[in-house]
C-alpha cells in the first residue's frame, strides 16, 4: 500500500537491561524539547510489499550497516554522518525498526536493502542524494531503477518509500544527534530535567501512514463503511419484509378465495364487477303474478323438452313469478347469457313483483310479462336477490362498486378474488384484524365485533329466507304499516297479484317484524357508530315520518319504494379506500411503505 504521510518524532524508552519486563514503554518526548517532523510531501511508494492498508508502519529509525570495507561506505559517507543511529545503537530487544538510507548506486542500494532484510526492518525510507526540497520523483522514474527489473521489490519483505533529498538529509542529521546517551542529545539537560532517566534511550521514531487503496481520508472511509452497513441493514430488513409481505398477500388471497374476508364490506378495497362475472348473473323476465300459465311461457321457451313445467302443480311454480331469460329472447341485451340452473334458485329467496315493482335506480316500474306484453322487462338479479334493469345496474357494478346499491351486499360470487392483492390491502386487512379483538373486548363475553356480527346476521337472514321457504320473503319485505288488514287490503288491491296476496296473508303482523328489523338495524348501528346513534335514528325516523299509510291512492309504487328504503341494510357504503389512503398518506410515508412493506399500521 502506498504511504500517505511520514511523521518522525523523538521517543524515549527505558533500557531493557535496566528495566526488566517492561521493554515497550515508549514515550514520545515532549516536542518542545525534542525533534519532530511531519513530511512536507507525500512519500513516494517504491514498493508496497507487505504494507497493509490502514495499518501504520512504525519503528525506530536507523541506518542499516554496510560492510566496513565496501565501496559503498565511502560513497555514502557524504550523506550518512558517522554517529548516525545504527543497529548497534538500539537495544537488541525485538523493537520494530524502519531503515533509512540514501539512494546511491544500484549496488549500494542493494547492499542497504540486504542489510535491512537482515535486521528485519519493517520498512525502508530512502532519498535521492540531491538535497532537493522538491517531492521525490515518481516510482516509475528511472532514477529508482536498480537494473534487475522489479526483482528487488519482491526480494524484500518490507515496503520501500522515498522522501525528498532535503528531508532525508535532515533526518540523517537528527538521527546522528539522537544516537547516543540522553545527555548527548539536543536539549539533553532539559530531557533529564523533565524526568527522563539518563540511562534511557532517546531515539527517532518514524510513523508511516498507509491509507486505503483509493487514498481516501480515513474519516470518509469510516463514514462510507458506516453508510454501507446501514444500507446493508436496511436492504436486509426490506428484503425480509418483502418476503413476509409476499407471504401475507398469498395468505390474504387464500382467505379471500375461501370467503373468509370480504374486501369491500370491510373497506379494504373498492371492487368492481368484471364484465364476465356480470354476464353470469341471472337475467330474468319480470314475471306476472298469475300462477300457472304465465311463467310457463317463458319457461317453455327455455325448456322446450320439459313441457311438464306448465302443468306442474308444485307451489314453487305457482309462486315462481320470475322466469329465466333465454338465449332466444330477442329483447335480451346479451344473447350469450346462460340462465342459472333452476335448482339453485329454488333454494334461495326470490323476490316477487310485489316486493320489487320498481327499479330503484331509475324508479321505473318493471313491466310484467302478460298476455298483452309477452316480453316483460328484463331484470338483472344480484346475489342478494335485488333486481334492477340491467342497463341501470350493470354500469354501476362494472365501474363504481361491487356492492348492491340497495343493501350494500357484495354482488361478487363467493370466493371471488381480485387479480392483484396489494400491500395496501394486506395492511388494511391487518388493521381490521387488529380492530376486531378490541371491539370484541368492549362488549360482553361472547360478543363479536361489528363485522363478525354483521356477517352472522346476514347469514341468519339468508338462512331464514331459505329455510322458511317462500315465506321467508316476509322477513325482508315487511311494511312499515300498522295492522294486517290494511296490508291485506292493499295486496288485494293489486288485482292480479293473487298469490302475492296469499303470501301477505300468511305473514304475521307486519309491525312486529318491522320493529324487529329496525331494532336489529339500530343495534348494529350502535355497535359500529355508537356516538352518532341517537341523531341518526331520529333523522331516519323523521325522514320516514309519518309512517306511510298503505297506498290509498295511486302510489303503490311509492309505497313499495318507501318500504325498500326502510328495510335497507344500514351497512356503511365504503368509499374508495385506495383513493382515500392515497390522499391522506404523505409522500415520505409512501416511500417508507415501499421499502418496508407492512411497517406501521396506518
Partner 1 sequence: MAANKRIMKELAEINNNPLQGCTIKLAKEDDLNNWDVTMDGPPESPYAGGKFNIQIVLPKEYPFKPPVLTFKTKIYHPNVTNDDKGAMCLGMLRADEWKPPNKIVDVLKLVRAVLAAPQPDDAVEAGIANEFKTDRKAFDKTAQDWVKKYAK
Which residues are at the interface with partner 1 (CB under 8 A)?
A: 358, 360-364, 389, 391-392, 395-396, 400-401, 405-406, 532, 534-536, 538-540, 542-543, 545, 561, 564-565, 568, 570, 572-575
Q: Hey, which bits of 282-386 come out as E strands?
A: 283-285, 323-324, 378-381
Kindly state the DSSP code that residue 550 receives in the 8-state scheme.
P
- What's the closest the beta carbon of residue 497 comes to partner 1, in angstroms? 20
- Reduce the DSSP state of residue 60 to 3 states and report it: strand
- What's the closest the beta carbon of residue 376 comes to partner 1, in angstroms? 19
CA 364 from chain centre, in angstroms, equals 49
The answer to whether 35 and 8 are in contact (CB under 8 A) is yes
Parallel, antiparallel, or unpaired: how do β-strands 36-38 and 123-127 relate? unpaired
- What's the closest the beta carbon of residue 260 comes to partner 1, in angstroms? 24
Torsion of CA 241, 244, 250, 253, to 10 degrees: -70
* Nearest to partner 1 of 364, 468 (CB atom): 364
The answer to whether 396 and 405 are in contact (CB under 8 A) is yes
What span, in angstroms and rounded, lies between the C-alpha atoms of 174 and 177? 5
Encode 489-512: b = buried (16+ Cβ within 10 Å), e = exposed.
ebbeebeebebbbbbbeebeebbe
**Run of H or E residues at 61:** strand 57-62
* Nearest to partner 1 of 488, 540 (CB atom): 540
* Nearest to partner 1 of 248, 389 (CB atom): 389
Parallel, antiparallel, or unpaired: how do β-strands 97-102 and 123-127 relate? parallel
Which residue in the block uniquely carries the three cell numbers 365504503? 574
* Nearest to partner 1 of 93, 573 (CB atom): 573
- What's the closest the beta carbon of residue 281 comes to partner 1, in angstroms? 18
Residues 6+ apart with CB under 8 A from 438: none
* Nearest to partner 1 of 336, 543 (CB atom): 543
* Nearest to partner 1 of 103, 396 (CB atom): 396
The answer to whether 295 and 287 are in contact (CB under 8 A) is yes
Strand partners, 99: 62, 124
What span, in angstroms and rounded, lies between the C-alpha atoms of 93 and 24? 9
- What's the closest the beta carbon of residue 532 comes to partner 1, in angstroms? 7
- What's the closest the beta carbon of residue 477 comes to partner 1, in angstroms? 13
What span, in angstroms and rounded, lies between the C-alpha atoms of 11 and 90? 12
The runs of H, that is alpha helices, within 320-407 are: 342-347, 390-399
Give the side-chain half-sphere CA count within 13 A for 586: 2
* Nearest to partner 1 of 124, 360 (CB atom): 360
The sign of the torsion formed by the CA atoms of 324, 328, 333, 338 equals positive
* Nearest to partner 1 of 326, 356 (CB atom): 356
- What's the closest the beta carbon of residue 558 comes to partner 1, in angstroms? 9
Take residue 492 and report the three cell numbers written for it: 288485494
- What's the closest the beta carbon of residue 530 comes to partner 1, in angstroms? 12
Kindly state the DSSP code that residue 56 receives in the 8-state scheme.
-
Residues 6+ apart with CB under 8 A from 498: 289, 290, 291
Backbone φ and ψ for 125, nearest 5 degrees, come out as -105, 130
Take residue 17 and report the three cell numbers written for it: 537491561
- What's the closest the beta carbon of residue 550 comes to partner 1, in angstroms? 18
* Nearest to partner 1 of 372, 545 (CB atom): 545
- What's the closest the beta carbon of residue 319 comes to partner 1, in angstroms? 24
Take residue 77 and report the three cell numbers written for it: 559517507
* Nearest to partner 1 of 407, 426 (CB atom): 407
Residues 6+ apart with CB under 8 A from 577: 267, 268, 269, 270, 424, 428
- What's the closest the beta carbon of residue 393 comes to partner 1, in angstroms? 9
- Please state whether the peptide bond connecting residue 546 to the residue before it is cis, i.e. omega within 30 degrees of 0: yes
* Other beta carbons less than 10 A from residue 82's beta carbon: 8
* Nearest to partner 1 of 150, 580 (CB atom): 580
- What's the closest the beta carbon of residue 544 comes to partner 1, in angstroms? 9
- What's the closest the beta carbon of residue 568 comes to partner 1, in angstroms? 5
Q: What share of the chain is helix, strand, coil (3-state, %, to 5)?
A: 45, 10, 45
- What's the closest the beta carbon of residue 560 comes to partner 1, in angstroms? 9
Amino acid at each position: 500500500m502506498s504511504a500517505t504521510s511520514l511523521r518522525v518524532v523523538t521517543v524515549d524508552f527505558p533500557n531493557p537491561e535496566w528495566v526488566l519486563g517492561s521493554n515497550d514503554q515508549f514515550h514520545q518526548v515532549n516536542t518542545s524539547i525534542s525533534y519532530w517532523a511531519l513530511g512536507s510531501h507525500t512519500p513516494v511508494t517504491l514498493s508496497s510489499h507487505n504494507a497493509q492498508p490502514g495499518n501504520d508502519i512504525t519503528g525506530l529509525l536507523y541506518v542499516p550497516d554496510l560492510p566496513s570495507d565496501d565501496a559503498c561506505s565511502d560513497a555514502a559517507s557524504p550523506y550518512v554522518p558517522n554517529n548516525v543511529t545504527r543497529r548497534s545503537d538500539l537495544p537488541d530487544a525485538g523493537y520494530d525498526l524502519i531503515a533509512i538510507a540514501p539512494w546511491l548506486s544500484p549496488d549500494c542500494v542493494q547492499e542497504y536493502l540486504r542489510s535491512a532484510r537482515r535486521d528485519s526492518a519493517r520498512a525502508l525510507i530512502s532519498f535521492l542524494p540531491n538535497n532537493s526540497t522538491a517531492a521525490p520523483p515518481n516510482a516509475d522514474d528511472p532514477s529508482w531503477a536498480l537494473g534487475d527489473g522489479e526483482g528487488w521489490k519482491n526480494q524484500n519483505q518490507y515496503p520501500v518509500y522515498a522522501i525528498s533529498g532535503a528531508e532525508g538529509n535532515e533526518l540523517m542529521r537528527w538521527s546522528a544527534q539522537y544516537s547516543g546517551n540522553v545527555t548527548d542529545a539536543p536539549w539533553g539537560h532539559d530531557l533529564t530535567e523533565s524526568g527522563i532517566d539518563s540511562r534511557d534511550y532517546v531515539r527517532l521514531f518514524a510513523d508511516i501512514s498507509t491509507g486505503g487503496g483509493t487514498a481516501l481520508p480515513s474519516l470518509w472511509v469510516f463514514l462510507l463503511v458506516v453508510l454501507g452497513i446501514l444500507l446493508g441493514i436496511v436492504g436486509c430488513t426490506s428484503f425480509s419484509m418483502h418476503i413476509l409481505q409476499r407471504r401475507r398477500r398469498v395468505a390474504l388471497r387464500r382467505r379471500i378465495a375461501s370467503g373468509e374476508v370480504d374486501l369491500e364490506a370491510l373497506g379494504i378495497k373498492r371492487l368492481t364487477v368484471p364484465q364476465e362475472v356480470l354476464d353470469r348473473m341471472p337475467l330474468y323476465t319480470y314475471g306476472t303474478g298469475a300462477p300457472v300459465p304465465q311463467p310457463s311461457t317463458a319457461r317453455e321457451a327455455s325448456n322446450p323438452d320439459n313441457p311438464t313445467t306448465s302443468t306442474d302443480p308444485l307451489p314453487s311454480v305457482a309462486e315462481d313469478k320470475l322466469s329465466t331469460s333465454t338465449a332466444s329472447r330477442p329483447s335480451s341485451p346479451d344473447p350469450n347469457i346462460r340462465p342459472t340452473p333452476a335448482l339453485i334458485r329454488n333454494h334461495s329467496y326470490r323476490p316477487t313483483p310485489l316486493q320489487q315493482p320498481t327499479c330503484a335506480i331509475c324508479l321505473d316500474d318493471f313491466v310484467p310479462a302478460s298476455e298483452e306484453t309477452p316480453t316483460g322487462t328484463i331484470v338483472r338479479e344480484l346475489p342478494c336477490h335485488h333486481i334492477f334493469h340491467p342497463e341501470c345496474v350493470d354500469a354501476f357494478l362494472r365501474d363504481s362498486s361491487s356492492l348492491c346499491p340497495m343493501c350494500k351486499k357484495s354482488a361478487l360470487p363467493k370466493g371471488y378474488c381480485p387479480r392483484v392483492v396489494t400491500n395496501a390491502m394486506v395492511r388494511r386487512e391487518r388493521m381490521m384484524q387488529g380492530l376486531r379483538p378490541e371491539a370484541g373486548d368492549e362488549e360482553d363475553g361472547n360478543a363479536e365485533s361489528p363485522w363478525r356480527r354483521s356477517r352472522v346476521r346476514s347469514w341468519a337472514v339468508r338462512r331464514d329466507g331459505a329455510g322458511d321457504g317462500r315465506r321467508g320473503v316476509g322477513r325482508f319485505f315487511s311494511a312499515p304499516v300498522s295492522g294486517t288488514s290494511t296490508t291485506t287490503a292493499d295486496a288485494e288491491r293489486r288485482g292480479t297479484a293473487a298469490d302475492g296476496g296469499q303470501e301477505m296473508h300468511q305473514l304475521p303482523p307486519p309491525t312486529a317484524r318491522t320493529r324487529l328489523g329496525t331494532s336489529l338495524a339500530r343495534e348494529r348501528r350502535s355497535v359500529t357508530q355508537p356516538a352518532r346513534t341517537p341523531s341518526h335514528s331520529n333523522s331516519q325516523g323523521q325522514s320516514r315520518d309519518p309512517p306511510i299509510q298503505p297506498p290509498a291512492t295511486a302510489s303503490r309504487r311509492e309505497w313499495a319504494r318507501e318500504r325498500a328504503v326502510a328495510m335497507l341494510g344500514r351497512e356503511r357504503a365504503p368509499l374508495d379506500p385506495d383513493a382515500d389512503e392515497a390522499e391522506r398518506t404523505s409522500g415520505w410515508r409512501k416511500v417508507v411503505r415501499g421499502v418496508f412493506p407492512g411497517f406501521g399500521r396506518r
